[in-house]
Amino acid sequence: MPESAAEPLRVAVIADLNGSYGSTDYSAAVDKAVERILALRPDLVISAGDMVAGQRVPHLAAGEVAAMWQAFHAHVSDPIQQAGIPLAVTPGNHDASAYHGFEAERQIYGDQWRQRKPDLAFVDATGYPYHYAFAMGDVLFLSLDVTVTGKLPPAQKNWLAAVLAEHGPRYRHRIVFSHVPLWPFAIGRETEFSGDRELEALLQEANVGLYLSGHHQAFYPGNKGGIHYVGLACLGSGPRFLIGASERSGRSLAFIEIDGPDLRVAALSAPGFTRTIDWRDLPPQIVTEAAVLSRADLVENPIRQLGQHWFVDPLP
């Protein structure tokens, strides 16, 4: 954590690291991304889900699932933990699907991460490692358990409303992260989103400024109704096309800098994760029947791209 409230808080965000069903192998991009994160030494790493490759039919055996988690920890969790950087996770559909038939995988996910609970200032950890909240600096972070499409279950929505009402006003920023997004970003995933307008209204009322999500495997900094929605690219298999884009979104990891009232975001592209993606190369809007997302630098209260100079050399 920064030494004082005056220092920026820096967060690395990764998503969709898995390979094919049951795989215990990870791409060179995953290892290089972890290496780059360790060099830049952020205050926090968030994983927005799909860390392993479950949700296969026929179902994977418990031993196969455990082997996938062992591989993930070797490639990702252990190096980050050994560097003293907390890792906050949220479940993906390939980690802990809430669809019927994957109850065992959800249980294994919970067992894995309860054993690796990070040293964070938890505000509410009763639902950890599925939905939970913690604070760091001037920021309240909230993980939502979104591994299926459609509306958030009422119990989780009630939990979120209560935490935001009780704790949200104490913090300058409120950041939510989940696996499945609230609104669509990518071609081929136009129907794989939450679309929960009650959730959207709740987030707006609580002044949530940033919502991070994976699953669509394409980077886009969007805005709808005053909330910045950042869709994350993958590090594993399956990069996708943004809706309205002519080229596939490359593998990348995201960095967020929270500096007083300002939020700045960048995506660092593979293979070296030293170059930032230029937002001007992204569509000015993503238009679907469900929603219109405007690029977050083109709206009334924009977030800005984190400058390239930040990534030239490792931080001191």
Given CA atoms 85, 251, 255, 198 in this order, what sign does their dihedral have?
A: negative
- Is residue 131 predicted with pLDDT exceeding 50? yes
- Is residue 315 predicted with pLDDT exceeding 80? no
Q: Which tens digit of pLDDT belongs to each residue from 4-34?
A: 456 899 999 999 999 999 999 999 999 999 9
pLDDT exceeding 70 applies to what percent of the chain?
Answer: 95
CATH of domain 9-311: 3.60.21.10
The pLDDT assigned to 306 comes to 80
CB 146 within 8 Å of CB 48: no
Q: Which tens digit of pLDDT belongs to each residue from 211-230?
A: 999 999 999 999 999 999 99
- Is residue 1 predicted with pLDDT exceeding 70? no
User: What is the average pLDDT score of the chain?
Assistant: 94
- Is residue 3 predicted with pLDDT exceeding 90? no
* E-only strand ranges, the chain: 9-14, 44-47, 87-89, 121-124, 132-136, 139-143, 173-178, 210-213, 220-224, 227-231, 252-259, 262-269, 275-276, 285-287, 292-295, 304-305
Q: Which tens digit of pLDDT belongs to each residue from 252-300?
A: 999 999 999 999 999 999 999 999 999 999 999 999 999 999 999 999 9
The pLDDT assigned to 308 comes to 64
The pLDDT assigned to 304 comes to 85
The pLDDT assigned to 309 comes to 59
Residue written as token pair 């987030």: 203
The pLDDT assigned to 23 comes to 95
Over range 30-44, report the average pLDDT: 97
**To 5 degrees, how large is the angle CA 63–CA 66–CA 67?**
85
- Tokens representing 230 are 């950042």
Which SS3 state, helix, strand or coil, does residue 45 take?
Answer: strand
Over range 124-153, report the average pLDDT: 98
**CA dist., res. 192 & res. 148, Å (int):** 8
The pLDDT assigned to 4 comes to 42
Task: Report the predicted TM-score, pTM, of the whole model to 2 decimal places.
Answer: 0.95
**Domain boundary assignment for the chain:** 9-311
- Is residue 88 predicted with pLDDT exceeding 80? yes
